[in-house]
Structure 1
Amino acid sequence: MRWVFNIAWLALLAFLATTWPLLPDVVGSPRFMLPRDHYTAWMLTLAIVGPWLTTYGSLLAARHWPRLINLPYRDHWLAPPHREQTLADLGGRLAALGLGLLVLFAGLHYHALQRAQPHWPQVPADVWTAGSVLQGLGLAVWLLALMRRFNRLPVVAAPRPARQGSRSTDLVWRETQLMWPLLAVLLPASVGLTLAVTHAQASAGQAWMPAILPMLLALVFGRMTTEVHGDRLCWRFGWLPWPRWRVDLDDIIAVDAAQSRWTEGWGIRFTSDGMLYNASGTQAVRLTLRDGRHVRLGCQEPRLLIGALQARISGR
C-alpha cells in the first residue's frame, strides 16, 4: 500500500506543477478568490505537508514520541515486543488514509481547472456531492477498522461464568448528562446560520435549512444516558435509540472511579486507556472487562454508579 501511496503522491505533485499555467489569473468563487500564484503555492504546500504528516510524520511520532499518538491501549501496542508489528500495520492503514487525502486534493484542483477549461470533461455538481459523501463514509469506515484492530487486547482476563438468571431486569440506576460543550457551540451556530442566510436572501422562507445539521447533531449527541438494569449496563447518546451500547454484568470483572483529561474531549473517543464515552466534566467510571478491555463512562456521581454495579456484580 505504501508504494501505491508514494506513486499517487508524486502523480499529484506533477499534476499540480504542470497544470498551474492553465488556471485563470484569479482562482476561486466570487466570495473567496486568490491570485493564481498564491493558490498554487497553497496547494503545493498542502499537498506536500498534509500527506507527509498523515503518513510518515505519524509513524515517526509513533516510533519516537508515542505519547503524541492517540491509539487505544497505546502502551501495549507500542511496547517493544509489539512495536514493529504495530508500526507496520499502522503504515498500511495510514497510507490508505493518505490516498484519500490525495484524491481530495486532486479533486479540488480539477474543480478549479474545469472552470477555466470548458473544453475539458465537466464533472456535474451531483458527482462532486456524491464524492464528498463517499469521502466521509470512507473516513468513517477507516476509523471503525482502526478501532476494531486496536481496541481489543489479545488476552483474556478471566473465564466467563455461567450466565445468572436470577437477577431482576428492572431499572436499578439511571443518570442523564447534557453535553454542554456541544450544545454551547451548536445552538448559537444554528441561530447564526439562520440569521446569515436570512440577511443574504432577504427572505426567511428557507433560512432554517442551514440549521438542520447543527440541530441534528444536538439531537443525536446532545446528552448521554447511562442505565443499570438487572443484568446489563447500557448507555446511549442523544434522544434517539441510536447510538446505543450495552455490556452484560457478567462480562465486568472490576469497576473503579477514574478521571478523563480535558484534552481527551467529549463524545465518543478512543484513548490510550481504551474507549471513552463522556458528555461533560472529567469524572468517570472505569470498567475492566473479561477480554482485557477498559471502558470509561463519564458520570456526575461515580460513587452511585460504582455502588449499583458492585452490588450486582458481587451478587453473581
Structure 2
Amino acid sequence: MRLVFNLAWLALLVFLVSTWPLMPDLVGAPHKALPRDQHMAVMLVVALLCPWMATYGALLLARRAPGLVNLPYRDHWLAPAHREQTLTDMGGRLAVLGLGLLALFAGLHYRELQRAQPHWPQVPPEVWTAGAVAQGLAFAVWLLALMRRFNRLPAVASPPPVRHGSRSTDLVWRESQLMWPLLAVLLPVSVGVGIALSASPARGQGLWMLAALPALLVLVFGRMVTEVHGDRLVWRFGWLPWPRWQVDLDDIVAVEPARSRWIEGWGIRFASDGMLYNASGTQAVRLALRDGRRLRLGSHEPRELIRSLQGRIAGR
C-alpha cells in the first residue's frame, strides 16, 4: 500500500507542475483570488506537507515520541515489544488515509482547471458534492476500522463468565447530561442563521441546510444518557436510538472513579487508556472489561453510578 501511495503522490505532483501554465492569471473567487504563481506555490507546499504529515510524519512521531500519540492502549501498542508490529500496521492504514488526501487535492486542482478551460470535460456540481460526501463516509469507515483494530488488548485466556440469566432487566439508575460545550457552539450559529434568513428571505433556499444542521447535531449528540439495568449497562447520545452502546454486567470486572482532562474534549474520543464517552465536565467512571478493554463514561454523579454497579458486576 505504501508503494501505491508513493506513486500516487508523485503523480499528483507531476499533475500540479504540468498544468501550471494552464491556470488563469488569478485563481479563486474574485474577492479572495491569488495570482497564479502564489496559488500554485501554496498548492505544492500543501500537497507535499499534508500527505507527509499524515503518513511518514505520524509514523516518525510514534517512533520518536510515543507519548504524544493519541492511540487507545498506547502504552501496550507502542511498547518496545510491540512497536514495530504496530508501526507496520499503522503504515498501511496511514497510506490509505494519505491516498484520500491526494484524491482531495487532485479534485480541488482539477476544479480550478476546468473553470479556466471550459472546453475540457466539465464535472457537474452534483458530482463534486457526491465526491465530498463519499470522502467523508470513507474517512468514517477508516476511523471505525482503526478503532476496531486498536481499541482492545490481545485476549488473555480466562475462565468463561458466569451468566446470571435470572437477573431482572428493570432500570436501576439513570442519568441524563446535556452536552453544554456543543450547545454553546451551536447557539450562536443558530442565531446567526436566523438573522440571515430574516434579513434576506430570498436566500432561504440556500441556507435551509445550514439552519437544519445545528438541530440535527443537537438531536444526535445534544445529551448523554447512562442507564444501569439489572443485567446490563447502557449509554447513548442524543434523543435517537443511535449512537448507543451496552455492556453486559457479567463482562465488567472493575469500576473506579476517574477524571478526563479538558484537552481530551467531549463526545466520543480516543484516549490512551481506551475510549472516552463524555458530555460535559471532567468527572468520569472507568470500566475494565473481561476482554481487556477499558473505557471511561463521563458522569456528574460518578459515586452514584459506581454504587449502582457494585454488587452486580462480575468483579463484585
Q: Same fold (TM over 0.5)?
A: yes
Q: Aligned partners of 1:29 and 1:162: how far apart in 2? A: 66
Q: Which residue of 2 aligns with 1:39?
A: 39
Q: Aligned partners of 2:23 and 2:276: how far apart in 1? A: 47
Q: Which residue of 1 aligns with 2:244?
A: 244
Contact kept in structure 2, 1:194 and 1:208, CA below 8 Å: no
Q: Aligned partners of 2:137 and 2:74: how far apart in 1? A: 26
Query: SS of the residue aligned with 2:235?
Result: strand
- Per-residue CA shift, 1:115-164, capped at 9, x if unaligned? 01011111111111111011001100100110111111102374332210
Query: SS of the residue aligned with 2:24?
Result: coil
Q: 1:147 to 1:51 in 2, by over 3 A?
A: same
Matched, 1:109 2:109: yes
Q: Aligned partners of 1:206 and 1:65: how far apart in 2? A: 46
Query: SS of the residue aligned with 2:33?
Result: strand
Q: What amino acid is the match of 1:18?
A: S
Q: Which residue of 2 aligns with 1:211?
A: 211
Q: What amino acid is the match of 2:137?
A: L
Q: Which runs of 5+ in 2 are unaligned?
A: none
Q: Aligned partners of 1:222 and 1:29: how far apart in 2? A: 36
Per the TM alignment, residue 207 of structure 1 is displaced from its structure 2 partner at its CA by: 4.4
Q: Which residue of 1 aligns with 2:81?
A: 81
Q: Which residue of 2 aligns with 1:146?
A: 146
Q: Aligned partners of 1:244 and 1:172: how far apart in 2? A: 18
Matched, 1:273 2:273: yes
Contact kept in structure 2, 1:159 and 1:290, CA below 8 Å: no
Contact kept in structure 1, 2:230 and 2:312, CA below 8 Å: yes
Q: Aligned partners of 2:301 and 2:274: how far apart in 1? A: 21
Contact kept in structure 1, 2:250 and 2:314, CA below 8 Å: no
Count of aligned residue pairs for this structure pair: 316
Q: Aligned partners of 1:137 and 1:90: how far apart in 2? A: 20
Per the TM alignment, residue 21 of structure 1 is displaced from its structure 2 partner at its CA by: 1.4
Q: Which residue of 2 aligns with 1:229?
A: 229
Q: Which residue of 2 aligns with 1:257?
A: 257
Q: What's the Cα RMSD here?
A: 1.7
Q: Aligned partners of 2:12 and 2:204: how far apart in 1? A: 43
Query: SS of the residue aligned with 1:250?
Result: helix
Q: Which residue of 2 aligns with 1:19?
A: 19
Query: SS of the residue aligned with 2:275?
Result: strand
Per the TM alignment, residue 197 of structure 1 is displaced from its structure 2 partner at its CA by: 4.9
Contact kept in structure 1, 2:253 and 2:315, CA below 8 Å: no
Q: Aligned partners of 1:212 and 1:106: how far apart in 2? A: 31
Q: Aligned partners of 1:209 and 1:53: how far apart in 2? A: 33
Q: 1:298 to 1:205 in 2, by over 3 A?
A: same
- Report 1:117-196 matches (<5 A): 117-156=117-156, 158-196=158-196
- Per-residue CA shift, 1:229-273, capped at 9, x if unaligned? 010000000011110000000000000001111111100011110
Contact kept in structure 1, 2:251 and 2:314, CA below 8 Å: no
Which stretches of structure 1, 4 residues or longer, exceed 3 Å deviation after superposition?
196-209
Q: Which residue of 1 aligns with 2:100?
A: 100
Contact kept in structure 2, 1:179 and 1:279, CA below 8 Å: yes
Q: What amino acid is the match of 2:289?
A: L
Q: What amino acid is the match of 1:274?
A: G
